[in-house]
């Protein structure tokens, strides 16, 4: 695992700087203690990272669960009661893994996964614009269109113009210039520039800028800085941990909340796994059942010590990929960096301007939503482009699950259309003896979805024509199709349509000899 330490460690530093504001922002958006987000980030890195089979996936608190957490804390009466639900949710996820429910992740179309990555990239860019200019009214990690502060994605951008911070804006542009210069030029000049990542340099420059401009017109306000809880002593640090209230374990509302968290967290994890596997340069495949087991264990640990629910998350995972991470060691190290930093240097972390971190996230978002991908998907045809674009729109104007659901519905609709079109192949020969000869070859699997297409062709057969039905490739006939064919025997006799069945058993022209065939179901033709 330490073979690629020279690449995993620099990547872990970048993931650390991406994760830090998101852990705090998601906790704030969830109505939970700020430290709970850091706990979830640490557990997601160290515990889940160690147990997971994902090479590049990074786990931590998820923005997609923020609304659920916010409502659950209010409805369950206390944060301690909510933590019990998190522990139980972890147990349910472990059960999902044992039952091999991870296979669900493989049933999402590629176009929807690409749309999800692109939509998240666009959301990151849109959401970071206010932070880039020093308008930090909404917490980092609030990815939903309708925000917890009452605004939406676009109103936040419009209101930003009334609250631009000159100092935060200047250092954001400086940070962006450093990041671009580092990636486009310096990273190709020597190993030292690969070992020391651009985001680390940008953050250090941001801290220096803040210190030098203090008490000047370019001073960056405290609300525009990272806000990590600073304990007075080690005892006060330990006092930030909260423990679940097990006396509420028989409360049905606790179990309902737990199941909701387990279901949504598992779905988001499986979606992230599928997406990050596609981004992986080595195209490795994450064992999804093991991932559910690792996530369940992580949620149990996080809930037991006061943390938010964890899932594998795309933003941190994609930052890991883009920074050159090679193994899961980068995710584990990022968790330890979170732990060490909040214990040893929380005051230093609170000197980091959020606008610099917004610049880092800007580049992450751009790499996920490159304009060339839209052209590529459009050229792939409407069957790929439509689910892709619908997923993006759903994510931008709703949230992750809404976008994925809409994209999946459109994807299924496309499959139904193609199944309808591909149920059979039809060839019409020239008129012979006053009637047409029609050759119909059925597909390998013919289900009720194909009923309309086949029925239409049969009804269009003219009187005194001849139908040759080739079923040599057919391995499954749905009962609905069998009924159509049985009914058509009667119509064929009335309209003098001569039927020939071609199967592996040979050719049968006597209606009585092929009637039995129509009553076969799963038996090979």
Q: Which residues pair with 506 in a beta bridge?
A: 503
Question: What digits encode the pLDDT tens for the residues 421-460?
Answer: 655 555 555 555 556 788 888 877 777 777 777 888 888 8
CA 293, 41, 107, 92 torsion-angle sign: positive
Nearest Cα neighbor of 29 from 78, 76, 62, 75 is 62
* Residue 419: inside a domain: no
* pLDDT for 505: 55
* Residue 15: inside a domain: yes
CATH number at residue 433: 3.30.750.24
% of the chain exceeding 90 in pLDDT = 48
User: Any idea which residue has 């990239």 for tokens?
Assistant: 121
User: Any idea which residue has 């689910």 for tokens?
Assistant: 387
Q: Is residue 313 located within the same domain as residue 193?
A: yes
Nearest Cα neighbor of 44 from 24, 30, 62, 70 is 62
pLDDT of 516 strictly over 60: no
* Residue 164: inside a domain: yes
Total of domains in the chain: 2
* Residue 455: inside a domain: yes
* Residue 63: inside a domain: yes
Question: What digits encode the pLDDT tens for the residues 400-411?
Answer: 888 889 998 998
Q: Is residue 170 located within the same domain as residue 134?
A: yes
Q: Is residue 444 located within the same domain as residue 351?
A: no
* Residue 447: inside a domain: yes
Q: Is residue 392 located within the same domain as residue 431?
A: no
| DSSP SS3 for 244 | coil
Q: Is residue 246 located within the same domain as residue 114?
A: yes
Q: Is residue 511 located within the same domain as residue 390?
A: no
Give me the mean pLDDT over the 173-183 stretch: 92
Ramachandran quadrant class, 469 (left: phi over 0; alpha: psi -120 to 50; beta: rest): beta
pLDDT of 11 strictly over 60: yes
Q: Is residue 386 located within the same domain as residue 428?
A: no
* Residue 403: inside a domain: no
Q: Is residue 192 located within the same domain as residue 108?
A: yes
Q: Is residue 43 located within the same domain as residue 130?
A: yes
* Residue 162: inside a domain: yes
The boundaries of the domain holding residue 366 are: 7-139+150-396
Q: Is residue 182 located within the same domain as residue 249?
A: yes
pTM (global) more than 0.85: no
């Amino acid at each position: 695992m330490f073979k690629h330490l020279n690449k995993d460690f620099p990547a872990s530093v970048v993931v650390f700087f991406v994760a830090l504001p998101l852990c705090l922002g998601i906790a704030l958006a969830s109505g939970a203690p700020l430290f709970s987000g850091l706990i979830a980030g640490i557990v997601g890195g160290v515990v889940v990272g160690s147990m997971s089979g994902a090479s590049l996936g990074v786990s931590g608190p998820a923005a997609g669960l923020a609304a659920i957490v916010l409502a659950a804390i209010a409805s369950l009466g206390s944060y301690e009661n909510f933590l019990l639900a998190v522990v139980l949710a972890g147990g349910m996820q472990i059960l999902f893994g044992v039952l091999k429910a991870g296979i669900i992740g493989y049933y999402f179309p590629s176009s929807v996964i690409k749309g999800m990555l692109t939509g998240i990239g666009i959301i990151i860019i849109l959401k970071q614009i206010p932070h880039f200019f020093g308008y930090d009214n909404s917490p980092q990690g609030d990815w939903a269109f309708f925000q917890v502060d009452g605004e939406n994605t676009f109103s936040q951008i419009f209101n930003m113009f009334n609250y631009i911070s000159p100092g935060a804006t200047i250092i954001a542009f400086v940070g962006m210039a450093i990041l671009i210069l580092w990636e486009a030029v310096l990273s190709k000049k020597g190993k030292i520039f690969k070992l020391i990542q651009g985001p680390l340099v940008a953050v250090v420059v941001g801290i220096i800028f803040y210190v030098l401009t203090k008490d000047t017109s370019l001073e960056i306000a405290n609300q525009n800085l990272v806000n990590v809880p600073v304990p007075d002593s080690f005892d006060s640090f330990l006092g930030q941990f909260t423990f679940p209230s097990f006396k509420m374990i028989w409360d049905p509302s606790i179990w309902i909340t737990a199941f909701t968290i387990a279901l949504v967290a598992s779905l988001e994890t499986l979606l992230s796994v599928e997406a990050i596997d596609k981004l992986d340069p080595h195209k490795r495949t994450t064992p999804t059942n093991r991932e559910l087991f690792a996530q369940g264990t992580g949620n149990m640990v996080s809930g037991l010590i006061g943390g938010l629910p964890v899932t594998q998350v795309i933003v941190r995972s994609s930052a890991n990929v883009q920074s050159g991470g090679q193994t899961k060691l980068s995710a584990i190290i990022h968790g330890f960096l979170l732990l060490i930093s909040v214990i040893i240097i929380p005051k230093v972390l609170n000197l980091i301007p959020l606008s610099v971190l917004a610049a880092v996230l800007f580049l992450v978002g751009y790499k996920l939503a490159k304009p060339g991908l839209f052209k590529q998907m459009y050229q792939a045809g409407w069957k790929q482009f439509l689910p892709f674009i619908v997923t993006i729109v759903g994510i931008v104007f709703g949230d992750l699950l809404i976008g994925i659901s809409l994209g999946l519905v459109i994807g299924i609709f496309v499959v139904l259309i193609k199944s309808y079109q591909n149920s059979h192949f039809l060839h019409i020969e020239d008129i012979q003896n006053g009637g047409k000869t029609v050759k119909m070859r059925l597909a390998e699997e013919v289900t009720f979805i194909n009923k309309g297409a086949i029925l239409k062709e049969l009804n269009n057969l003219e009187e005194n024509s001849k139908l040759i039905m080739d079923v040599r490739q057919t391995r499954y006939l749905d009962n609905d199709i069998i009924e159509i064919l049985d009914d058509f025997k009667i119509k064929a006799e009335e309209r003098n349509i001569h039927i020939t069945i071609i199967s592996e058993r040979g050719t049968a022209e006597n209606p009585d000899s092929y009637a039995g065939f129509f009553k076969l179901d799963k038996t090979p033709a």
